[in-house]
Structure 1
Amino acid sequence: MAASRGGSGRRAILVSACLLGHPVTYTGDDNFVDDPRLRRWLAEGRVIAVCPEVAGGLSTPRPPAEIRGDRVVTVDGRDVTEAFQKGAEAALALARHFDVALALLKQSSPSCGSRRIYDGTFSGRKIPGEGVTARRLREAGFLVFGEDELDRAEAALRAAEGPSANGSSNTETEAPRRD
């Protein structure tokens, strides 16, 4: 997908492909989020879709994987850390290429979880933490949000673009003084 920047000041947004309805989850399903902000960003041509796990060479469907220590392992014990790291680097390359303002990623995913992930026991229990891609993007200086943080993501996008990109014609930086 192409991203629009032009003279409008509008910045691109990296978004987990599953949130956009792409059937790329480990089960072969999607995690579609029907939200007016996502629809608007898509219509504006600023969304860059990525599934780091697929970009890293994993198939769809695939065995579930969770972070265990510093490794990513499947439910059957296979170490898939390298594929997750490769996918994180692919996502980072896209973020840099399109100079994205932020990333909106799938919460709880071992790739994309921005605030929480599964605990590595395949029990369904979630813990504070971040996925491999979310961590890599943050380390590189990108803002990362989960789909449950759309309000915060939208505010960060507005801040990154400044008032001229948000339809504001007010160029004053201070409110008028009342003496």
Structure 2
Amino acid sequence: MQRILVSACLMGRRVRYDGGAKTSADALLAGWRAEGRLVVFCPEVAGGLPVPRPAAEIEGGAGGAAVLSGDARVLASDGSDVTAEFVAGARAALEAARSAGVRLAMLKEGSPSCGALAIHDGTFGGRRVPGQGVTTALLEAHGVRVFTEDQLPEAADHLRDLEA
């Protein structure tokens, strides 16, 4: 059975920067949970960040790959540099995925860790730009396909392909 790495906040865990969750009530996700497929994980908490914590964005909206290569930082709204924690969390997510044989992830869109299609632009003004978060960039570089919570049907199709 193929396992799926999933953002802890989507499963109701209160791990987001604001102390909240972004619980998904999607039937597909609930079914995968019932089947025991899910590896529930929060890279930001695993990287050592507290809950709650200041919001964080990748400077210049540069994207996760730029952070991983050392060409961009992750900065918190209070001005602190949290790059090391985001990179550590991404590495922990990759290790969790490898340990469980994960080749598919369902992560929270817009997050500086988990965003797969869009991230915030680094100005803390609420604007999004196309790009990936740090964890998504690392997972995809190592063969784990990342989907957003709005792409569950596509993820289900990919899961069927993996298991065929």
Distance 1:47 1:141 in 2: 18
Out of 37, 46, 52, the position equivalent to 1:46 is: 37
Aligned residues: 153
CA drift of 1:151 comes to: 1.1
Task: Give 2:114's aligned amino acid.
Answer: C
1:134-162 Cα offsets, whole Å, 9 max, x none, are 00000111101111111111110010011
Superposed, 1:1-179 pairs within 5 Å as 10-68=1-59, 69=62, 70-162=72-164
Asked if the contact 2:103–2:143 (Cα under 8 Å) also holds between the matched residues in 1, the reply is no
Distance 1:140 1:12 in 2: 16
SS of 1:109's equivalent in the other structure is coil
Aligned-residue Cα RMSD (Å) equals: 0.6
CA drift of 1:76 comes to: 1.3
SS of 1:159's equivalent in the other structure is helix
Asked if the contact 2:18–2:52 (Cα under 8 Å) also holds between the matched residues in 1, the reply is yes
Q: Normalised by the size of structure 2, how large is the TM-score?
A: 0.92
Task: Give 2:18's aligned amino acid.
Answer: T
Task: Structure 2 unaligned segments of length 5 or more: list them.
Answer: 63-71
Distance 1:50 1:114 in 2: 16
SS of 1:85's equivalent in the other structure is helix
Task: Give 1:148's aligned amino acid.
Answer: D
Task: Structure 1 unaligned segments of length 5 or more: list them.
Answer: 1-9, 163-179
Q: Which residue of 1 aligns with 2:68?
A: none
**Which of structures 1 and 2 has the larger relative contact order (alpha carbons within 8 angstroms, sep 6+)?**
2
CA drift of 1:101 comes to: 2.8
Task: Give 1:56's aligned amino acid.
Answer: G
SS of 2:113's equivalent in the other structure is coil
Distance 2:79 2:156 in 1: 38
